[in-house]
Amino acid sequence: MATHGFTPEELARYERQMVLPEIGIEGQARLHEAAVLIVGAGGLGSPAALYLSATGIGRLGLVDFDRVDISNLQRQVLYTNRDIGQPKLIAAKKRLTAHNPHVKIDLHEEKLVAENVRRIFSCYDLVLDGTDNFATRYLVNDTCVMMGIPNIHGSVYRFEGQVSVFALTGDRRSTRSNSRSPRPPLNGPCYRCLYPEPPSPGSVPSCAEGGVLGILPGIIGLIQATEAIKLLLSQGDCLAGRLLVFDALRMKFRELKITRNPECPACGDKPVMTEPADMAGPCPFPGQEHEMNQPPIRELEVTQVKEKLEGDDPPLVLDVREHEELAICKLDLVQHIPLGELEARFAELPDDREIIVYCRMGGRSAMATQFLQSQGYENVYNMTGGILAWSAEIDPTMAQY
């Protein structure tokens, strides 16, 4: 029997899946010759990388430029306490190599942008999208469509996760020269067919703001890894044209059909996107989409805020986080209006008093500050860095999340 260059140790390692008739030694050789890129070595990328490596993918690429933080450990199972403070990719490679030294690990420790995305993607057969922001998600989608590379999408929020395969369209096929992995002629829709434009700020909080059940990214990341293996082996029915939605609270899966939009600017009949492009800056606050030339946001560092709060005429402090976040930590004597309710409730705020707005990290509060400025509030400031900066610089005893 041909061994396809596998060592006795490798044959023993993979024997439980090579006995599957859908895989066999030929299929294992396909996996060994495959190259898979994971964008984001976080909650989704961690389980996907662990299991793709264990399965015997020959080459695994990781894109990330973050460092391990203690808040990651609740869901990012690649890392341990000993890795806190280290670059994620260094810690990830150490863990993956220890588990399976036969897999080549490529590290791309850089932010994925239009300038480098083609160079990075050109070396891989498949892309797993484990990103947590819309700008990168759209960049991944558009580039995969242009280059003919299947994009295995996953996302999580609170107790719900979604997975789909945004596959090749028409004849746009990847031509990685050293790849013998199959290229099935799939004609599924792309991410823009499902979500043509990113949502308005504040309408979809990030996982850092809205929270996520720690085990949920593991479930979704493993479904992404499963789809990758099926595509590489040309086995089973992939999720192209289908969005799989998982509700962890009710332990239910449901499936939604997605159809390709012939008018889609990325994968439509007459696509207008021919080169990757970085998404423009933040979208305007809901209701302000058409207002231009907004004044710059006034900001104060946490040390400046502390001085004002200790002064004779302290400002009003506005917390725009969600209700659940207040139970973890908050500043004293604040007024609370969640960002999503601010447009309807801003009249509750006095217009003749200095207002300082804060959230967890400063993003939501910046949008709230800009909105209030647009409504005529002249003495409103954003607290730079949010309550995390306050905890780091002013009150280290304050709980962080």
Q: Which residues are known to be catalytic?
A: 207, 359
Instruction: Name the DSSP class of 366.
Output: H
Would you tell me how many other CB atoms lie within 10 Å of the CB of residue 61? 21
Q: Taking a C-beta distance cutoff of 8 angstroms, is the pair 156, 43 a contact? A: yes
Amino acid letter, residue 63: V
Report d(CA 311, CA 308) in Å as an integer.
5
Report d(CA 337, CA 323) in Å as an integer.
9
Radius of gyration (Cα) for the chain, nearest Å? 24
List helix spans (H) across 100-215.
114-121, 134-147, 191-194, 207-210
User: Cβ contacts of residue 249 below 8 Å, gap of 6+?
Assistant: 159
Report d(CA 308, CA 251) in Å as an integer.
49
β-pairing verdict for 242-247 and 252-257 = antiparallel
Report d(CA 303, CA 392) in Å as an integer.
11
